[in-house]
Structure 1
Amino acid sequence: MYFIIEKRMSCLRKKGDVMDFYRLIDKYKWFLRLLIPYVLFIFLALLLGWLIYERTLVLVDKEAKVNNLHLLQQVKTTLDGRLSEIDTIVMQAANDPKIVRLQQLNNPFEGTNTYKIWATQKDLYNFSISNNFILNYLIFYRNSNIVIAPTLLYESEKFYRNVLNYNDLNYEQWHELFFEKNNRKGYFPASEATYLGKPHSIVTYRHPLGNLPGQALGSIIVLIDNNQILKLLGGLDIKDGGWTYIADEQGNVITSTGEYVQLAPGTLKGNEGYIEESRLTNGKVITYSRSAVNGWFYVLAQSPQVVLEKVNYIKRITFITALIFLIIGIVLAYFFTYRNSKPLKKIMNTIRDRFQGETDRTYDAYRFIDDAVSRLIDNNQALQDEIEKQAPLLRATFFERLLKGDFVAGNEIMSLLKHQNLSVEVKSAAAAIVNFAPKDAYDEVILKELDRQRVIIKEMLRAHQQQSVYYHDAAEDMIVLLFLESELTPDSCKHKMEDLFARMRDVSRSPFDLNLNIAAGGVYESLLDVSRSYGEAKHALNFILRQQRTGIVWFYDLPQISDSHYYPGEIETRLMNHAKAGDMDEVNALLDDVYERNFVQRNLSPSIQRLLIYDMAGSLMKLREQLSIEESDNVKSLLNQADSSEELSEAFRYAGEIYAGICRRTNERKKSQNVRLLENIIHCLQTLYMNPDLNLDAAADRMGISKVYMSHFFKEQAGVNFSDYLENLRMDKARVLLADTTLTVNQIAQQTGYNSANSFCRAFKRINGISATAYRGSAGGINTG
């Protein structure tokens, strides 16, 4: 836009028309007034983001330092544990009697001395070396000038030449350093050495033997693998020129990684801490921790770029994001300014067209709009008269919103109270519901009767001239009373409500013969709580209807509201199992128990009752899925009824009807399956009865069921035992063969499933009372023996 203005300025300068230039600036003044707030808002948002960003940098920096310190402490703890194990091993060896006895030995390889050395060397195996930091440990005896280890025995010079030699020490220097000069216990810094023919980096620990003043009789030397220590330090990030080292109490560096710069004495203060980068730290950020066990310092030096890697990453992302959002914000600000200016420009053109003679001399858009609004205010009074005509409808709408709790701010209520010519100073507010002649359904006659009773009740209220008491039609059989007291306290308001309710009950009985139920909610000090009082009144009315009571009930007098319903998991499981079994009696007993506990014994709020119905609907859905019942319209109807109904006990009864339908379907399905199974069993027996191996086990295997179930099922369905049925079937076939054929008894026995003629004859006589031969003769058959 400024580019356009600049272009126009250039054109105007060429023409020399300065007045038109200022006229142009004035013309676009309204555009700039819209653009500037957008831009200011963007910069304020960026400023807030910058403050949050600065705080984030501090927290991330602190987190990085804490993490470094934590890693150092882990290294310190691990190494302290390993060094303590080394001290334990050394002290065990130093106090071992055999090792101490060899201190006075001068000629180790003469007489029994050789055996003593061998026995002592053997005892060295008893010292546990579970510490993987230790390469080996050895004992040097000054008098005998020998070095022994669990697997080694040398004179000291040969030991140094063949087993262990340090790269920067000859034998004399090594001997003097470790066994002669200032022979006190301590650690020697890591040195490169050759041990058993292999290069190693070794930290050496020395512990003197003997108690002679100023001179020890020997030394215990522990060879510590420096690479194991460096592995611990390997977890520390030292890229970009960082380093780390471990120093003892005197400041001697035991081991290190990287090209370290040893800090001056006194630099490391306290047991742990941080040192920002400076010339003294060679531009590095120092993190250190001191061991409470041996006083060693663990020092980590990192490049600031490493420590602040996350910080720098956040910084880059933040700056890039801020720049992008700034550009996008300015573009959007220009776009919204242009878009919002279009209707403003259109309004200005409309105003110019309507008021050309009065407003043509100015280009200020806001003055145009101000003039138009002032004219609209002049016409507002004409609308007020029309609004007065709609006052009853507006008051009903106001009461409806007040009862529903649509208001969230007191200012809005106050303005509407003024508009309705009601008192704006309300000290006590409450709601009550008057219920008359409740019915389950309404026909034309009942509706007329309800209208008559509603008129009587309203006239009754007008006759008592109750100020600050208002009524509102809530349903065909309900009127809501609103108590908006500007002078009475809540207690006084409650007494007034009790008096009014008592008079209404007295008058309604005689002479009008009305049966009123009055449910009252609590009295509160704020108009915003009227909806709460109305909800309590509805809850009290539901309690009256559910308990089939009459009269006046206050929400305060109700039993304490339970905050949970009774529908435990075991009840749900039993209910589903009995339904799957088709046991309607047990299902009804469980449902009656659940209803009694929730709707009679407990005073549940509607929301908790609704939650109970939802849980029961969930059980029904699971039950249908387990029984492979596809249609679920009745469950959906149950959920709709729970959402829309005020009386949720009806929804509970509907759930019971659904359970009854499932039980009926289950029993029908079971009955159909039982008939088919019985037919299959009888067909199997009639087909295979001549097989002597046919018995209960064989038939059960053929049907794919257990013999126990087979036995109970056949007895229950056929009314006779399985074995009796099979035997009677075989006897029926045998009697026919005896009477109508010339087959021998042996042949008949084989054809009716008996293994021998003797077992057949015994069974025939036991069942029929006569022998098979006698039966054939009495039946007129041919006896063939």
Structure 2
Amino acid sequence: MNKRFLRQLLKLFIPYLSIIIFIFVSSGIMYFIAFKKIESNELKMQEEYIEQSKLVLDRRFEEVFNVIYHLKNTPIITTFSEYNENDIKNNYNLAVKLHNALQNLRFVNEVIDTYYIFYKNSKIVANTDSLSRYEYFEDERILDDYTTKSDFWDSLFDDYYNNDILSVENQYRKKLQTIPIKATVGYEINDQDATIYLRINSEKIRENMIGYSHMFDGNIFVVDNQGKVLVSLNDKYGIIENEYMDIANFKDDLITITADSEVIPYTYVLTRSSEQVFKEIKAFRIGANTAILIILLVGLMVSALLARHNTMPLIKLMDNNALLAKRVENQLPYLRMTFLEKWLKGDYVAIEEIIYITKFLKTQYVGNFYTVVVIDYNEQIDIFNDMNESRIHEMEVKRMLIHELLTEDILKEEFMHNINSNKLAVIFVADCSEIDTFKGMIKEKILQCDNILTEAGMNEVYFGIGKIYKDMSSVAISLTNGMDAISFACTKRGEKITWYEDIVINQDICYYPPELESRLYNCTRAGDQAQLTQVLRELLQKNVIEKNLNHQMQKLFINELCGTLVKIQGRALGNDGVVNEIIKTAFEKIKDMTDLEKIQYCKHIFIKVCEVYSAKREERHTHVMEKIDAFIKENFANPDFGLPIIAEVFNVSYTYLSEIIKEYKDMSFVNYLQYLRMEKARELLVETDLQVKDIFLASGYNSSNSFGKAFKRNHGVTASVYRERHRSDFGS
């Protein structure tokens, strides 16, 4: 396993690892939140348990207090507290009435173990089952908790009780089987004539706890306001009845939840071990941790396998790409040659195609200025005659030598292309902002080339510099300019370096200035035969009659005319098959003609192409005029109607509107509008009974005065007279 494989493996593994880590972290966060929520829900469940116990136990204690309230509000019970021992001795019937009343006083309460009413003044003890003097009272469940009966008696009347828990210390010496509660019969704090004493059965209270304790393995107990455990469901966690318990100091591993009674000053306490509460959660947590760990390990293994699986073909692809890149590098010269040929010939659909190819050639072909320099190294130039094989071979050797000399230090091979056996084209591209700077750079480079070729003994080498353009797509035109400059330089055998711009203004060459070529091109495509005839007459007059061009210059003039036709043909490609076919056929026929015949035939082709465009223009104008005429006829009755409205609707200029209306209607727009309005007025006068004031409004006039003047000017009489004269004719 080599280093490159390991590096690529790591590159592929790291994204997988990042995904796994992201999933792991996200899962961890969700896992933490979920378990916190589950634990919170479990604690809420414990709170619900203790709240349920509180509702049941409070209901039991409330039932006890209802019994006390009932006893305290029974008249005979409260009245009997006023009698003393002598009253009872003298009238024992009072005690009998009390006993009978208590026997009739029945109530159902399963938690009250027993109750007694102790009367202070009469020393009577009474309940539902019995009535006796205190000296005969022998209930061991109560008295066993005290040293003497006298102590117990004193405890009954040493304070005012309002349904209070017994707080006497020695009441809790033994394990409680019952919970004591006592209440004073009376309304004043110092009026303690009788006390109701109740014992609540602890087992019954415990039974009410059991119904809500089977769902958890813990303990529920009740403590009073002194912290004494009154009743406990069991003795788990060291909870012992009749002992003090500090809830705040419970062990940390215990979950303790309390709820204060709303009926009696007791506190209900639920205690469970945290291990037991979270037992299922802990098991689930272990399972979840294991699952996450397994997923992590599996994810890492799968990521490693996927990375390894993808690395092998990727390494192979990289090797193939390297091999392909090497092949492309080897093919780069041929690709560049094809690119330069397309660029120089203009053999492309759109300039974007050329720009796209430059991205693969590792050369900057895009700039602010472009021009082409043609280098000719043939001593005797004959444009239209072919050379023999020996001459071609000689030119090939010379071309290779010149190419080698020029690319050694001066020119870049990436910008050079062979045009034919004796000509070399060099494309100059510059990023400078000034055209004069670009010209200076070209001149310097060409002089260097000329010097190095002269030193090598090559004196008959000529340089033709094409026109400088800002558009990348004009390189093909600049090549044509350079060829023209070369033709002029080789013919004159004068300056070795010729700028195309210089030969245009030279009186000894053909007359074909750029502005005249532009007019020739534009008026041909515009279908303007009059302008075309004028331009062609001027060109023929200057070149054929006045200059009397020599043979070479006539060829140059023919090339110029053909070049303009090529431009027209280029614009016609794809959307004008007729023009394209005319020019294409002409170039096939022109090969066998003499120079004068070629010039005359080019003139004929220009006129023929112009006629095609003129017919198309006429058709287009007719269609437009039909729409304009229909619009005028629909709206001439509008007094505000005029050229601005038509120009805005059809998005044309006033001048164009005026010309096309005059051309097709043989009258100006104003006269045509007045003609339509007068015709409408004449029709309404003869064929309807409308009043004149209504007719001039319907005809597009906003005043009777202007209507009357216009009508009389057109018809020689007023509207009323015209109606009288022609109404009878219409009726007949």
Name the TM-score class by shorter chain. Answer: 0.3 to 0.5
When normalised by structure 1's length, the TM-score is 0.36
Higher relative contact order (CA 8 A, sep 6+): 2
Q: Given the two structures, how large is their TM-score scaled by the length of structure 2? A: 0.38
